[in-house]
Amino acid sequence: MEISAALVIVQKYGGTSVGTVDRIRNVARRVLATQRKGHDVVVVVSAMSGETNRLLGLAQQISPIPDERELDVVASTGEQVTVGLMALAIHAEGGKATSLLGHQVRILTDSAFARARIQDIDVQAIRKAFAAQKIAVIAGFQGVDKDGNITTLGRGGSDTSAVAVAAALKADSCEIYTDVDGVYTADPNVVRNARKIDRISYEEMLELASLGAKVLQIRSVEFGMKYQVPIHVRSSFNDHEGTWVVPEEKAMEAVLVAGVTATRDEAKITLSGVPDRPGVQAEVLRPLAEAGIVVDVIVQAHIQNGRTNLTFTLPSADLARAKDILLKQCAGICPPEQLKSEENLSKVSVVGVGMRSHAGVALKMFEILAKENIHVHLISTSEIKISCVIEGKYAELAVRALHDGFGLAAGA
């Protein structure tokens, strides 16, 4: 008789997968089916779909810029509801389960409210649940700082909770259950013949996640890569194999471009006539960094007489604040009439480890965009991606053209 070894499996269910009581029951059954195969199971859940937005909206009604410590107290309650309901649903199906909030597991984070980073996870409470044949149902998105304050990990943070728990437990796999069948070569809502990717490297996934693919929170992929946790992104509505996010494999290099993405709502600021001296870039970016504003593509172009133009992109949502900060704190470097900004931009990108070993990918991208008459504002590249900032209204056209042009379509 062959006895298969018990595995430790972490399953994360997103908001739509736990969006109704019926769906919670459905998840409870799936989770129990996994446990009945002899495995130790952790379930990490998000808030019911729409709930986190509703909670943040309530806070916003009281204060347009709410105190982030209190905001986290409010936002984290969505997951408290789902872990309780999930444990009850597992009981109702005849199983054993215990719910655990962030502070009960002890998911220790720093104190950066609304965007906290996980520092350490105590696995004792989880192991205790396993020892009692219980499923550990853990609230995603939330943690606790060293002073006992409740923190949250940023939007989409339950993915990171799940992968971090999997890393701490040295789990055999981390399954991220969602409402799509996996990671696609492009957003299937934009590109009808987009294809599900079977296997993708952490690095490519990291680029895709940072460049607009919303299926996984970026930090979850960072965790996966750092601790080599295999991540399986799949649908909670069927049993199809999804996409495995894994260490790079030889075959991945043969593919020039793995995926095409677009980010929306980008803005750009140009400071013209900036004195061209060492340290000037830091003087401009420091106050923005201190305000937590993340700038992205940075381009500096020389003009005459020791002066230069500095352009960078940032999220549209931060534009007003960034301009205000620059006008107040960098007036000496850049008087108001020399600060220009533009909104409604999009960054379209092609990503693939194959471009490390193939020439001409950038050229091909520019040719494809040119053929559609799309004007490129800014360009940025890394070893495995090329991004072009374009006018937002052409984003979907660009994504479709690139997806076709690089032969990514299903059946191509």
Query: Which residues here bind ligand ASP, judged by CB under 6 A?
Result: 14-15, 46-47, 52, 78, 140-141, 155-159
3-state secondary structure of 389: strand
Distance of alpha carbon 374 from alpha carbon 393, whole angstroms = 10
Structural tokens at position 229:
């946790």
**For ligand ASP, which is the closer residue by CB, 223 or 394?**
223
| Binding flag, residue 156, Mg ion (CB under 5 A) | yes
Nearer to Mg ion, 224 or 405 (CB): 224
Report which of 199, 197, 201, 202 is spatially closest to residue 180, judged by C-alpha positions.
Answer: 197
Please state the closest distance from residue 89 (CB atom) to Mg ion, in A.
Answer: 21
Nearer to ligand ASP, 183 or 274 (CB): 183
Q: Which of 332, 343, 341 is nearest to 284 (CA)?
A: 332
Residue 39 binding result from ligand ASP, Mg ion, none, given CB thresholds of 5 to 8 Å by partner type: none
Q: With contact defined as beta carbons under 8 Å apart, do 59 and 121 qualify?
A: no
Among 124, 43, 123, 120, which residue's Cα sits nearest to residue 84?
A: 43
State yes or no: residue 78 binds Mg ion (CB under 5 A).
no
Nearest distance, CB of residue 88 and ligand ASP, angstroms = 19
Q: Is 143 in the site for Mg ion (CB under 5 A)?
A: no
- Indicate whether 392 belongs to the interface with Mg ion (CB under 5 A): no
Q: Which stretch binds Mg ion (CB under 5 A): 6-14, 59-67, 183-191, 223-231?
A: 6-14
259 binds, among ligand ASP, Mg ion, none (CB under 5 to 8 A by kind): none
First to last CA, the chain: 46
The β-bridge partners of 199 are 244
The 97-136 contact track toward Mg ion, x by CB under 5 A, reads: ----------------------------------------
CB of 60 to ligand ASP, least distance (A): 15
Q: Least distance from C-beta 155 to Mg ion, angstroms?
A: 8
Min CB(391)–ligand ASP separation in Å: 29
- In sequence order, the 6+-apart residues with CB closer than 8 A to the CB of 217 are 153, 154, 155, 156, 157, 158, 159, 160, 209
Measured CA to CA, the distance from residue 114 to residue 360 in angstroms comes to 41
CB of 52 to ligand ASP, least distance (A): 3
